[in-house]
C-alpha cells in the first residue's frame, strides 16, 4: 500500500432487479400457502372423526368436469401470457376469455355440487365435523377462484376496450401467477378431499 | 420497470417540507392520506407508543392487584380481561407495529430506494392495523359497563379452546378478539409482502445481497417468517369464527372436534411470533453496536447465516409450549432437541456482538446502553429458555411465574430494550433533533433497575409454585413479600417509561439540532438530510461496500478493498 488508490471499484455488473409486483405476488403466495396448509391439515386430521353421518363416501362425487376446466385454464392463461408478450392482442383476448369461461364453469360446478349436498344430502357446515371441514376448505379455495375471476374479468374488460398491449405484459404475468397458484392449490384440495378423503 | 427513470418531482409531486405548517386540518389531512414510507413509519411508531402506555397501564393495575394477598382492587373477571388485553395488545398492537414501523422508516433509506415497493398498499396496511387496534379496544365500551371493563376479551391471549366456545364465552368478547386480530393480521401480511418486494427489487445500484446492512437483511428474514406465521393464526381464527357463528365443530369436542388442534395451530403461529418480534431487535442491535464501538460488525456472513437458520429452526419448535398436554414422549424429545437447536445460531449472534465490542472504542450513549442491557438480558433469557425446553423441567414449571419471567425477559429485556435503543438512535433522523441524553440515562437506569426487580424476582415466585393468571392468592404461601417486590419493580418501570414519554415529546420542541449524521454512522440513511425529504435522496446512491458512508468519509481507505 505505498500509493493511495483513488479509483472507484469497477462494478461491471449490470444492475437488474426482479419486477417488484412479481416478487410481491410470490411473497403473498407463500403466505397463502401457509393459510391453505392449516386448513388442509385440519381436514386430514379430522377425516373419519365425525360422530354422525353423512360420511364423505356417502355424498361426495368426484368433480371431474370442474377439475378439467380449472386445470386447463392454467394452460389457456399461459397462452394468453405468451400472446401479450408478443403483442398479439386479438389472440390474447380470445385466450383470456376462454380462461374466464373455464373459471365460471368450475364455479358453476361447485355451486351445483353444494346445492346437491345441502338440499339432497342435508350436509351443511354445522351438520358434522366433515361438513365443517369440507365447506371451509373447498369454500376457501372457491373464494380464491372468485377473487381470481374478478381480476381476470377486469383484465378482459380492459382488453376489450383495447387498453392492454405489450407494455402491460409484466403486470398481466402477476395475475397469471396468482391464477396458477389457485390451480395448484386445487390439485392439493382435490387429492385430499376427493381422492384420499373418500 | 425501473422506478428511477421517473424523476422525484413527477413521482411525488413538489417536495413538501414536513416543517411547513398549514392549518391543523390541512396537516391532519396530509397525514391521513400519506403514502410516504417515512410518515407511515412514524404513524406506526406513534400508534404503538400509545398502546405501549395503555397496555403498560393494564400491567400496572394487575401488579397493584397482586401486590398483597386478598386484594379487592380488581374483580376476577376484570383481572382476566386485563391480562388478555395486556398480552394481546403488547404482541399485536405494540411489538409488531413498532418493529414494522422501524422497518418501514429505515429499510428504504438503507437500501437507497425512494419509497417502498407498493406505497398505497403500505398505507392500506397501516390503516388496517390501526383499525384492528381500534376494534379490539372498542370492546371496552360494550357489555358490563366500563367499571366491569365492558365486554373486553377474557380468554387469555392464546384463547385456548374450548374456553372460546359459545357456551363458555357468551357475548362478543371472543369475536372482538378474533376479528381485531384477523384485520390487523392482514395489515401485517401486507407490510411483510411490501418489505420483501422492496428489499428484493428496489435496492440501489451496487447493493448486492451480501452488501445489504444487517438491519435490512433481518427485516427480509423477519418478513418471510411473518408470511408463514401470521397466516396460520388467521386460519385458526377463521375456524374459531366458523365455530362460533356458523355452528362449525373444529374445536367442539362434543362433535368429534379437538381442542388440541387449536393449541397446535395457535403455537404454530405463536412460537415463530417470538422470533418475528426478537429478530428486528437483533436488527437494531446490529446497527447500534458497531456504530458506538467504532468497528464493523464481526462475522457478517455468519450473522446472515444465523438469521436464516433461526428462521427455519423456529418453525419446528412450537410444541415446546405443549409438553404438558399429553403428547407422546417421542414428540416431547423431538421438540426438546429442536428447541435447544435454536441456541446454536443465537449463540453465534451473541458471540459476534461480543467480538464486535471486543477492543472497540465504546461510546456509552443511551442507545448503546440499551443495547448492552439487551445483550445481558437476552443471554439470560436464552438460558432460562434452554431450561424450559427440557420437558421434565417444563412439567414442573409449566404455567408458573417462571414462564412469565422467561418470556418477559425476551419480550421486555430484549425486544423493548432494543425498541428504546432504536427510538434514541433514529429519533434525530426522523425529527432533526437529538433526544436529551441526561433524561435518556435516567430512563435507562430506572427502567433497567425496575426491569430486574420485577422479572428476576418472578423467577423465584415461579420456583415457589405461584401459577400464572390468578387474580389473587392466599397469604400463607410464602409469596407475599416477593409479590410486593415485583409490583414495586413494575411501578419503577412505569415511572421510567413516563420519563421517556416526556423526553420524547420535549425533545421534538426543545432538542438539540442533530445534523445529518449525529452518530458518525455508516449506512445510507445517514447520508440524506434529517428529516429526509419526501423523495429520500437527491441522487440515487451507488454503493461499493457494506459501509458506503465510511467509503465516502475515508476515500483513502475504502471498505471495498477488503471485502471479498
- pLDDT tens readout for residues B386-428: 999 998 999 999 999 999 999 999 999 999 999 999 999 999 9
Q: What is the CATH number of the domain that holds A93?
A: 1.20.120.80
**C-beta atoms of B268 and A20 within 8 A:** no
When scoring A2, A4, A8, A24 by the number of chain B Cβ atoms within 10 A, the one with the most, hence best to mutate, is A24
- pLDDT tens readout for residues A77-120: 999 999 999 999 999 999 999 999 999 999 999 999 999 999 99
The answer to whether the beta carbons of residues B111 and B199 sit under 8 Å apart is yes
Nearest to A106 by CA among A76, A78, A65: A65
Kindly list the residues from chain B whose CB atom is less than 8 angstroms away from the CB atom of residue A136. 238-239, 242, 248
**C-beta atoms of B201 and A8 within 8 A:** no
Phi, psi of A103 (to 5 degrees): -65, -40
Residue A162 falls inside a structural domain = yes
Q: What is the ipTM of this complex?
A: 0.91
Closest residue in B to A129 (Cα–Cα)? B249
Instruction: Using CB atoms, pick whichever of B203, B248, B542 lies closest to residue A125.
Output: B248
**C-beta atoms of A35 and B234 within 8 A:** yes
Torsion of CA B230, B232, B238, B244, to 10 degrees: -110
Rounded to an integer, what distance in angstroms lies between the CA atom of residue B215 and that of residue B217?
5
Domain B38-561 architecture: Up-down Bundle (1.20)
Instruction: Using CB atoms, pick whichever of B197, B255, B555 lies closest to residue A129.
Output: B255
Phi, psi of B205 (to 5 degrees): -60, 135
> What are the angstrom distances between the C-alpha of B107 and each of A53, B194, B198, B219?
54, 11, 8, 8
**What stretch of H or E contains B149?**
none
> What angle, 0 to 180 degrees and rounded to 10, lies between the N-to-C axes of helices A64-85 and A89-119?
160
Instruction: Using CB atoms, pick whichever of A20, A51, A125 lies closest to residue B201.
Output: A20
Q: What DSSP string runs through B303-328? A: HHHHHHHHHHHHTT-GGGG-GGG---
Closest residue in B to A3 (Cα–Cα)? B556
The set of residues, in sequence order, having a beta carbon less than 8 Å from that of B250 and lying 6+ positions away, is: A42, A46, A129, A132, A133, B239, B240, B242, B243, B257, B261, B262
Task: Let me know the angle formed at the C-alpha of B218 by B213 and B223, rounded to the nearest 5 degrees.
Answer: 130
**C-beta atoms of A27 and B234 within 8 A:** no
Residue A145 falls inside a structural domain = yes
Beta carbons within 10 angstroms of residue B14's beta carbon = 7
The answer to whether the beta carbons of residues B122 and B107 sit under 8 Å apart is no
**Chain A residues whose C-beta sits inside 8 Å of any chain B C-beta:** 4-6, 8-9, 11, 13, 15, 17-21, 23-24, 27-28, 30-35, 37-39, 42, 45-46, 49-52, 125-126, 128-129, 132-133, 136, 170
Residue A8 falls inside a structural domain = no
> What angle, 0 to 180 degrees and rounded to 10, lies between the N-to-C axes of helices B214-246 and B173-201?
150
**C-beta atoms of A42 and B231 within 8 A:** no
**C-beta atoms of A27 and B1 within 8 A:** no
Domain containing residue A139: 21-195
Query: Is the omega angle on the peptide bond into residue B415 within 30 degrees of 0, that is, cis?
Result: no
In terms of Cβ atoms closer than 10 Å to its own Cβ (0-12, 13-18, 19+), residue B360 is middle
Residue A13 falls inside a structural domain = no
The set of residues, in sequence order, having a beta carbon less than 8 Å from that of A7 and lying 6+ positions away, is: none
**C-beta atoms of B250 and A128 within 8 A:** no
Rounded to an integer, what distance in angstroms lies between the CA atom of residue B250 and that of residue B238?
10
Beta carbons within 10 angstroms of residue B481's beta carbon = 10
CA atoms within 13 A on the CB side of A66: 20
Closest residue in A to B543 (Cα–Cα)? A11
In terms of Cβ atoms closer than 10 Å to its own Cβ (0-12, 13-18, 19+), residue B79 is buried
Rounded to an integer, what distance in angstroms lies between the CA atom of residue A60 and that of residue A74?
25
B92's grid cell = 399485536
Closest residue in A to B315 (Cα–Cα)? A34
**C-beta atoms of A31 and B231 within 8 A:** yes
Provide the H-helix boundaries in B315-364. Answer: 329-357
Kindly list the residues from chain A whose CB atom is less than 8 angstroms away from the CB atom of residue B192. 27, 31
- pLDDT tens readout for residues B504-552: 999 999 999 998 999 999 999 999 998 999 889 988 888 988 999 998 8
**C-beta atoms of B231 and A32 within 8 A:** yes
Whole-number pLDDT of residue B530: 87
- pLDDT tens readout for residues B278-288: 999 999 999 99
Q: pLDDT by residue for chain B (564 residues), tens digit each?
A: 344 444 444 545 555 555 556 788 988 999 999 999 999 999 999 999 999 999 999 999 999 999 999 999 999 989 999 999 999 999 999 999 999 999 999 999 999 999 999 999 999 999 999 999 999 999 988 776 666 677 889 999 999 988 999 889 888 889 999 999 999 999 999 999 999 999 999 999 989 999 999 999 999 999 999 999 999 999 999 999 999 999 999 999 889 999 999 999 999 999 999 999 999 999 999 999 999 999 999 999 999 999 999 999 999 999 999 999 988 899 999 999 999 999 999 999 999 999 999 999 999 999 999 999 999 999 999 999 999 999 899 999 999 999 999 999 999 999 999 999 999 999 999 999 999 999 999 999 999 999 999 999 999 999 999 999 999 999 999 999 999 999 999 999 999 999 999 999 999 999 999 989 999 999 999 999 989 998 899 888 889 889 999 988 888 888 888 875
Closest residue in B to A171 (Cα–Cα)? B1
Residue A144 falls inside a structural domain = yes
User: How many structural domains comprise chain A?
Assistant: 1
Bridge partners (DSSP) of residue B433 are B513
Kindly list the residues from chain A whose CB atom is less than 8 angstroms away from the CB atom of residue B223. 27
Beta carbons within 10 angstroms of residue B226's beta carbon = 29
**C-beta atoms of B197 and A170 within 8 A:** no
Bridge partners (DSSP) of residue B467 are B400
When scoring A129, A171, A178 by the number of chain B Cβ atoms within 10 A, the one with the most, hence best to mutate, is A129
Give pairs for B501-508: CB < 8 Å, separation 24+.
B501/B49, B501/B53, B502/B439, B503/B435, B503/B436, B503/B439, B503/B440, B503/B443, B504/B49, B504/B423, B504/B427, B504/B435, B506/B436, B506/B439, B507/B427, B507/B431, B507/B433, B507/B434, B507/B435, B507/B436, B508/B431, B508/B433
Chain B nearest CA to A144, separation (Å): 14
**C-beta atoms of B201 and A132 within 8 A:** no
Amino acid at each position: 500500500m505505498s500509493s493511495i488508490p483513488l479509483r472507484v471499484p469497477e462494478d461491471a455488473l449490470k444492475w437488474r432487479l426482479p419486477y417488484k409486483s412479481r416478487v410481491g405476488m410470490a411473497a403473498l403466495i407463500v403466505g397463502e400457502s401457509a393459510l391453505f396448509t392449516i386448513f388442509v391439515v385440519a381436514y386430514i386430521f379430522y377425516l373419519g372423526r365425525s360422530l354422525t353421518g353423512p360420511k364423505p363416501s356417502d355424498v361426495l362425487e368426484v368433480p371431474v368436469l370442474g377439475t378439467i376446466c380449472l386445470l386447463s385454464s392454467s394452460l389457456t392463461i399461459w397462452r394468453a401470457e405468451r400472446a401479450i408478450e408478443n403483442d398479439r392482442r386479438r389472440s390474447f383476448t380470445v385466450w383470456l376469455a376462454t380462461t374466464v369461461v373455464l373459471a365460471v364453469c368450475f364455479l358453476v360446478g361447485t355451486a351445483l355440487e353444494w346445492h346437491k349436498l345441502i338440499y339432497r344430502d342435508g350436509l351443511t357446515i354445522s351438520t358434522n365435523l366433515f361438513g365443517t371441514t369440507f365447506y371451509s376448505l373447498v369454500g376457501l379455495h372457491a373464494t380464491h377462484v372468485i377473487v381470481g375471476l374478478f381480476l381476470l374479468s377486469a383484465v378482459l374488460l380492459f382488453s376489450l376496450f383495447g387498453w392492454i398491449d405489450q407494455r402491460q405484459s409484466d403486470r398481466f404475468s402477476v395475475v397469471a401467477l396468482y391464477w396458477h397458484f389457485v390451480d395448484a392449490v386445487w390439485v392439493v384440495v382435490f387429492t385430499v378431499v376427493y381422492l384420499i378423503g373418500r | 420497470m425501473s422506478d428511477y427513470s421517473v424523476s422525484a418531482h413527477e413521482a411525488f409531486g413538489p417536495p413538501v417540507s414536513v416543517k411547513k405548517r398549514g392549518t391543523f386540518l390541512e396537516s391532519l389531512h396530509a397525514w391521513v392520506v400519506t403514502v410516504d414510507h417515512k410518515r407511515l413509519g412514524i404513524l406506526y411508531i406513534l400508534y404503538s407508543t400509545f398502546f405501549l402506555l395503555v397496555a403498560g397501564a393494564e400491567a400496572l393495575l394487575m401488579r397493584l392487584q397482586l401486590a398483597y394477598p386478598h386484594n379487592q382492587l380488581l374483580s376476577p373477571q376484570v383481572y382476566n380481561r386485563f391480562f388478555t388485553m395486556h398480552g394481546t395488545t403488547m404482541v399485536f398492537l405494540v411489538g409488531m407495529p413498532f418493529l414494522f414501523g422501524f422497518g418501514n422508516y429505515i429499510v428504504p433509506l438503507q437500501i437507497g430506494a425512494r419509497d417502498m415497493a407498493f406505497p398505497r398498499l403500505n398505507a392500506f396496511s397501516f390503516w388496517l392495523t390501526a383499525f384492528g387496534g381500534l376494534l379490539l379496544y372498542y370492546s371496552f365500551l360494550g357489555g358490563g359497563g366500563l367499571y366491569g371493563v365492558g365486554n373486553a376479551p377474557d380468554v387469555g391471549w392464546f384463547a385456548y379452546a374450548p374456553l372460546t366456545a359459545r357456551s363458555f364465552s357468551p357475548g362478543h368478547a371472543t369475536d372482538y378478539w378474533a376479528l381485531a386480530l384477523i384485520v390487523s393480521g392482514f395489515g401485517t401480511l401486507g407490510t411483510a409482502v411490501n418489505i420483501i418486494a422492496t428489499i428484493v427489487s428496489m435496492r440501489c445500484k451496487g447493493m448486492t445481497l451480501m452488501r445489504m446492512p444487517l438491519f435490512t437483511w433481518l427485516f427480509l428474514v423477519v418478513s418471510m417468517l411473518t408470511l408463514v406465521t401470521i397466516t396460520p393464526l388467521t386460519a385458526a381464527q377463521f375456524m374459531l369464527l366458523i365455530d362460533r357463528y356458523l355452528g362449525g365443530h373444529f374445536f367442539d369436542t362434543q362433535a368429534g372436534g379437538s381442542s388440541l388442534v387449536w393449541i397446535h395451530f395457535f403455537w404454530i403461529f405463536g412460537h415463530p411470533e417470538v422470533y418475528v418480534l426478537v429478530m428486528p431487535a437483533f436488527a437494531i442491535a446490529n446497527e447500534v453496536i458497531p456504530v458506538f464501538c467504532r468497528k464493523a460488525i464481526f462475522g457478517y456472513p455468519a450473522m446472515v447465516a444465523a438469521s436464516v437458520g433461526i428462521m427455519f429452526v423456529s418453525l419446528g419448535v412450537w410444541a415446546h409450549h405443549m409438553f404438558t398436554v399429553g403428547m407422546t414422549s417421542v414428540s416431547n424429545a423431538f421438540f426438546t432437541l429442536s428447541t435447544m437447536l435454536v441456541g446454536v445460531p443465537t449463540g453465534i449472534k451473541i458471540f459476534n456482538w461480543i467480538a464486535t465490542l471486543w477492543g472497540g472504542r465504546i461510546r456509552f450513549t443511551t442507545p448503546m446502553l440499551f443495547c448492552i442491557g439487551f445483550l445481558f438480558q437476552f443471554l439470560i433469557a436464552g438460558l432460562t429458555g434452554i431450561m424450559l425446553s427440557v420437558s421434565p423441567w417444563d412439567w414442573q414449571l409449566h404455567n408458573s411465574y417462571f414462564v412469565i419471567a422467561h418470556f418477559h425477559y425476551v419480550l421486555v429485556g430484549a425486544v423493548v430494550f432494543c425498541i428504546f435503543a432504536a427510538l434514541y438512535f433514529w429519533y434525530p433522523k426522523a425529527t432533526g433533533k437529538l433526544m436529551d441524553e441526561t433524561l435518556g440515562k435516567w430512563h435507562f437506569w430506572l427502567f433497567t433497575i425496575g426491569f430486574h426487580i420485577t422479572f428476576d424476582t418472578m423467577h423465584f415466585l415461579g420456583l415457589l409454585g405461584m401459577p400464572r393468571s390468578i387474580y389473587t392468592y392466599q397469604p400463607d404461601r410464602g409469596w407475599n413479600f416477593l409479590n410486593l417486590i415485583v409490583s414495586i419493580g413494575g411501578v419503577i418501570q412505569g415511572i421510567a417509561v413516563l420519563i421517556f414519554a416526556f423526553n420524547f415529546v420535549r425533545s421534538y420542541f426543545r432538542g438539540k439540532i442533530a445534523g445529518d449524521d449525529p452518530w458518525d454512522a455508516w449506512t445510507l440513511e445517514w447520508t440524506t438530510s434529517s428529516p429526509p425529504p419526501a423523495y429520500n435522496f437527491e441522487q440515487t446512491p451507488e454503493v461499493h461496500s457494506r459501509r458506503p458512508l465510511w467509503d465516502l468519509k475515508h476515500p483513502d481507505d475504502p471498505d471495498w478493498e477488503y471485502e471479498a
